[in-house]
Amino acid sequence: MRILLVEDSSRVAAVLAAGLRERSHTVIVAGTVRDADAALTRERFDIAVVDVGLPDGSGLSWCRNARKSGCEVPILFLTARNGVADRVAGLDAGADDYLGKPFSLDELLARIRALARRGPRWTESVRAFGPVLIDRDRRLVTVEGQRLPLTTRELDLVTLLAWRGGRVVPRHELLEAVWGDATESAAASLEVLIARIRRKLAEGGVHDALRTVRQVGYAWSIERSKPD
């Protein structure tokens, strides 16, 4: 997974980053709110691990602003303030989980795995991409008003890919989000479902909606329509 670690203590950040990298995660460290904003703009992340106390602002405020701007990355707060009111404030700000200091690396890794299993955080239920309309809550995809006959997993794949805004979603992430595990059977099913989604979209007049990046994953290729 690609993890954004927002921590102003260079010592703490170095220890956490080293531990996460030993578990084969890619870690980008930001020490300030400004650096975190720049990292989110520049790169794609699967999880953000954020210290509440930052030198140029509050992690709570950063989280609220990120959610308002449409950020869907799961956010885990780290803080020494571990009272009930503090946890409630963090969750109300838009965080997905809250871990009080001190904590073990194993617990942090377990929390990260749990957030990854949930998939992305959805901030909007309906999005349009040219003639394609995706309604996550109603679980339907239409092309020019005509409903596409997608299965449950096909719907999950289309929604996950479309909500990533054209960014490539690695195969392992798709497998873990939709099947819960990256088994050989699931990998074979992914190839079949991607082909079926392409065929169904093409039958509705939509071509080249899914882009394949060899040995990496897939991306949604239709640009999102601007609101009226």
CATH at residue 135: 1.10.10.10
What is the enclosing helix (H) or strand (E) of 217? strand 217-220
Q: 20 with 113, same domain?
A: yes
Q: How far, in Å, CA of 162 to CA of 219, rounded?
A: 8
Domain assignment present for 136: yes
Q: Residue 15 has what pLDDT?
A: 94
Q: Can you give the pTM of this predicted structure?
A: 0.56
Looking at the structure of the chain, the number of domains it has is 2
Domain assignment present for 228: no
Could you tell me the residue range of the domain that residue 160 belongs to? 126-220
CATH at residue 65: 3.40.50.2300
Q: How far, in Å, CA of 140 to CA of 135, rounded?
A: 5
Q: Residue 187 has what pLDDT?
A: 87
Which DSSP string do the residues of 41-65 spell out, in sequence order? HHS--SEEEEESEETTEEHHHHHHH
Q: 24 with 97, same domain?
A: yes
Query: Tell me: the pLDDT tens digits for 131-179?
Result: 999 998 788 999 999 999 999 889 889 998 998 878 888 888 888 778 8
Q: 145 with 99, same domain?
A: no
Domain assignment present for 97: yes
* Residues of the chain scoring pLDDT < 70: 69-70, 82, 118-124, 227-228
Q: Residue 6 has what pLDDT?
A: 95
